[in-house]
Structures are given as structure tokens and as C-alpha cells.
Amino acid sequence: MASNGENGRHQEVGHKSLLQSDALYQYILETSVYPREPEAMKELREITAKHPWNLMTTSADEGQFLNMLLKLINAKNTMEIGVFTGYSLLATAMALPDDGKILAMDINRDNYEIGLPVIEKAGLAHKIEFREGPALPVLDQMIEDGKYHGSYDFIFVDADKDNYLNYHKRLIDLVKVGGLIGYDNTLWNGSVVAPPDAPLRKYVRYYRDFVLELNKALAADPRIEICQLPVGDGITLCRRIS
């Protein structure tokens, strides 16, 4: 997984750290992450590496972090918005008790089905309820139903960045007091501090303003405590306090 020089920095699959040194990130992966990565996660990571959109996957160090975090908070009822091939979903499923549940939503079932055989082989598919399609209508329906208020221990969001604030408005209602929402990519390839004339890839530039807006809104939201971590492409944890 060595990087191919300065131009290739942070471009390859699973290589999403914002650490200044590629060698240092490689050290973390090779010393602490890969030796402890479960066989199923390694298999799924290697399958996903062949996908043309492999940059969308959760990095291995972030998968390890999520897995431990979920165990620390004894999460049982969780949700994931944005699944792709299911690497973070697998990390979550492995952390949950046998009767744990994940409501997983993505607009593309085909990608999810790339990882599904690995999840099934690991004996974890029974924990997952996958729904294909946009998440917002599902969330609205859940809020309307009334019985899902404060019912989630953990919610992970790694989907369309332009809707992060729309998700937040709803998820704050669905996560329990003391529960966590994790927003992925909140440092957005480092572009959050890029000068206005920086040569950014089109999609990075397009979503940057939404990420900046989200970060500002989360910092000002009195209903949560937050912690932004430079793991992967940046993850912001929000603990609901009211």
C-alpha cells in the first residue's frame, strides 16, 4: 500500500489520512491496524480496492476506531447512512452483540451487494436491515411514527455531504440522549483550509462549502457535545446531551 510519490498522496484506497507524512500513516496501518484487522474486513477491503470508486471506502484505521468506539459505548441499535460496499458496516456489525441491529441505507444496492457475501460468510447479515433509496424520506417517516424518538445508540453518516445538515436536523431526534452521531469526511481532503484559488477537484470544491457549513453548525449546536478527530478524512462525533 505504499504511496506512489507526492502526486499520489492520499489518492489510493484506504489511504485517507490527513497526516503530513505518508510514512507515518503507513506505520500506523502496518503496526497497529493491519495485524489486528479481522480476516473478513481485510477481504472486503481488498475486494473494494478493485472498485472504480474505491476512494469512497472507509479507511482501515477508521474501521478499527469505529469498532472499538461501538464496544466502548455498548451500542446495540445503530444506523448507517451511506454504505458503499459495507466496510464500516462490517466493522459495526462485528462490534454489536448478537441481537444488535443496524438500519443501513444507501441509494445503490449494487455496491452493497459487493460486500454482502463477505458479511454473510462472517455470519453477521442477520444484524443488518438494508434499505435502498434516499434516507431523508425514511427518517421523516420514522419521526412521524413517533416510536423511534431517542431509540438509536449510534448513527454513522457517510453519504451526500450536501444533505448532512438535513440529516442532522432529523437524527438529533432519533439518537438517544447520551448517544452518538458520527459524521464522516468533516475535514474533506484538507480542503476546508484551502485558499480560494486552490486547484481542487470538482467534487471536492462542490462539497467543501457544505462541509464548512456543517462544521460551523455542529460547533454552535447546544444539544450536542462534539469532538472532531483527524482519523481517516476527519470524523466529527456528536454526543446528544439534550
Domains of the chain: 6-240 (3.40.50.150)
pLDDT of residue 60: 93
Is pLDDT of 66 > 70? yes
Q: What is the pLDDT of residues 84-125, one digit of tens each?
A: 999 999 999 999 999 999 999 999 999 999 999 999 999 999
**Structural contact between residues 94 and 122, judged by C-beta atoms closer than 8 angstroms:** yes
Question: What is the helix (H) or strand (E) element at residue 225, kind and residue range?
Answer: strand 224-229
Q: What are the pLDDT digits (tens) for 130-170? A: 999 999 999 999 999 999 999 999 999 999 999 999 999 99
End-to-end CA distance of the chain: 43
pTM above 0.75, yes or no: yes
**pLDDT confidence of residue 33:** 96
Which band of pLDDT confidence, cut at 50, 70 and 90, is reported for residue 17? low
CA distance 6 to 74: 41
Place of cell 477508521: 62
Q: What is the dihedral of CA 19, 23, 24, 26, to 10 degrees?
A: 100
Check residue 54 and give its pLDDT.
76
